[in-house]
Amino acid sequence: MEIVLALICLGIVAGMIFVALASNRKRAQSRKQHSGSRRRSSSADGKSRSEPLNYEETWPFYPAYAMSIAEQEVYWKLIQALPDYIVLAQVQASRILKVKHSRNPMYWINRVNRMSYDYVICHKNSYPLAVIELDDATHEEPDRAEADRRKNKALFDAGLKLIRWHKHEVPEQEDIRKLVAQLAEKQQEKRRLHKAA
Q: Is the CB of residue 105 less than 8 Å from the CB of residue 91?
A: no
- Please report how many Cα atoms fall inside a 13 Å half-sphere around the Cα of residue 112, on the Cβ side: 21
Asked if residue 131 lies in contact with residue 163, where contact means CB atoms within 8 angstroms, the answer is yes
Domain boundaries, the chain: 1-30, 69-196
Tell me the CATH class for 69-196.
alpha beta
Q: 128 and 120 in contact (C-beta within 8 Å)? A: yes
pLDDT in the model for residue 132 = 98
Contact 133, 163 (CB under 8 A): yes
Q: If you write DSSP's letter for every residue of 59-71 in order, what string do you get?
A: PS-----SS-HHH
On whether the CB atoms of residues 131 and 85 are closer than 8 A, the answer is no
- Tell me the pLDDT of the chain (197 aa) as tens digits: 666 555 565 556 555 565 555 666 655 565 555 555 444 455 656 777 788 999 999 999 999 999 999 999 999 999 999 999 999 999 999 999 999 988 999 999 988 888 999 999 999 999 999 999 999 877 677 788 888 999 999 999 999 999 999 989 999 999 999 999 999 999 999 888 878 87
Number of Cβ within a 10 Å radius of residue 118: 21
pTM of the predicted model as reported, rounded to 2 decimal places: 0.71
Residues whose CB falls within 8 Å of the CB of residue 104, separated by 6 or more in sequence, listed in order: none
